[in-house]
């Protein structure tokens, strides 16, 4: 009996958690470029730039981005054929559970590229969640422009007036640089899908934290984030492929910070 009990306990521990109850947005890109589940608008939009976001139209006509029905991680995906300088995004309103004084959640997605051969010169942000800019109430990841090989970084910054009141350029600002989570040796490769996850907890509370995972493994954390976070939710966007070249698939947003085990579950394809 003891042996049977232990076996049942082990099997129970291996059961996949049901993450759908905490899901606020998902775009699998299977069958459509639009979102497949969410609390808000599911249409994919594009505009000439994020400064002209008010000119956005549904779809990706006029961009160098295409939806492919096959060739993604498990079905369709978005392909960024050349350096993307247009705005391509989902509306964040209700799809992102923004809470100004305690913003908690998880951003999950998959990338396929060789950063050394696919990316064009300059910084590249596969994803940004913000209503203004990368340095102003924003969460993002990027590939650096000058490092060889390119580094992969997580940035989480509140209202720019709260963390950079003197408007110091980011590359010369110690308050910017010390906040970043930097991965120097990454698993990205041509023909391989890499899972990226960002968890953030209690942003805006005065003691926030954010963590970066690659292929289910914790890469580092930004601690003691004291910034205020200020959003105009009508302008908030889940920005995709800023200056990016490569494939992007299965973008998911959750209302809470997932655990290490839950992140590993997604990375193992059990979601």
Q: Tell me how many degrees the CA angle 48-54-55 measures, rounded to the nearest 5.
A: 45
In angstroms, the CA 252 to CA 199 distance is 12
Residue 117's SS3 state is helix
Task: Name the nearest CA neighbour of 241 among 153, 158, 157, 143.
Answer: 143
Dihedral, CA of residue 234, residue 165, residue 226 and residue 186, to nearest 10: 80
Strands (E), the chain: 23-27, 37-38, 44-47, 57-58, 65-68, 77-80, 87-91, 103-112, 124-130, 138-143, 152-157, 181-183, 194-203, 208-214, 217-225, 237-242, 246-254
In angstroms, the CA 122 to CA 242 distance is 11
Find residue 208's DSSP bridge partners.
225
In angstroms, the CA 157 to CA 139 distance is 7
In angstroms, the CA 94 to CA 245 distance is 28
Chain length of the chain: 271
pLDDT for 4 equals: 43
pLDDT for 14 equals: 57
In angstroms, the CA 57 to CA 65 distance is 14
pLDDT for 16 equals: 86
| pTM, two decimal places | 0.94
Structure tokens at 91: 């509306």
Each residue's pLDDT, cut to its tens digit, for the chain (271 residues) gives 444 444 444 444 457 899 999 999 999 999 999 999 999 999 999 999 999 999 999 999 999 999 999 999 999 999 999 999 999 999 999 999 999 999 999 999 999 999 999 999 999 999 999 999 999 999 999 999 999 999 999 999 999 999 999 999 998 999 999 999 999 999 999 999 999 999 999 999 999 999 999 999 999 999 999 999 999 999 999 999 999 999 999 999 999 999 999 999 999 999 9
């Amino acid at each position: 009996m003891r042996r049977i009990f232990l076996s049942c306990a082990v099997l129970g521990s291996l059961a996949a958690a049901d993450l759908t109850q905490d899901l606020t947005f998902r775009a699998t890109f299977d069958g459509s470029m639009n979102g497949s589940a969410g609390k808000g608008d599911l249409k994919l939009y594009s505009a000439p730039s994020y400064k002209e976001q008010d000119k956005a139209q549904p779809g990706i006509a006029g961009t160098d981005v295409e939806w492919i029905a096959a060739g993604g991680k498990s079905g369709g995906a978005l392909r960024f054929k050349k350096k993307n300088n247009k705005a391509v995004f989902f509306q964040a309103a209700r799809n992102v559970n923004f809470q100004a004084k305690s913003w908690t959640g998880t951003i999950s997605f998959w990338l396929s590229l060789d950063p050394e051969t696919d990316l064009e010169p300059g910084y590249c942000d596969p994803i940004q969640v913000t209503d203004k800019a990368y340095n102003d109430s924003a969460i993002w990841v990027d590939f650096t422009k000058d490092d060889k090989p390119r580094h992969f970084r997580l940035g989480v910054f509140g209202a720019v007036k709260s963390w950079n009141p003197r408007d110091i350029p980011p590359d010369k600002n110690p308050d910017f640089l010390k906040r970043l989570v930097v991965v120097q040796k990454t698993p990205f490769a041509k023909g391989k899908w890499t899972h990226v996850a960002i968890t953030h907890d209690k942003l805006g509370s005065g003691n926030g934290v954010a963590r970066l995972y690659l292929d289910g493994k914790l890469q580092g954390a930004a601690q003691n984030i004291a910034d205020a976070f200020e959003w105009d939710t009508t302008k908030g966007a889940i920005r995709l492929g800023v200056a990016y070249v490569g494939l992007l698939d299965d973008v998911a947003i959750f209302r809470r910070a997932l655990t290490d085990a839950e992140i590993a579950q997604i990375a193992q394809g059990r979601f």
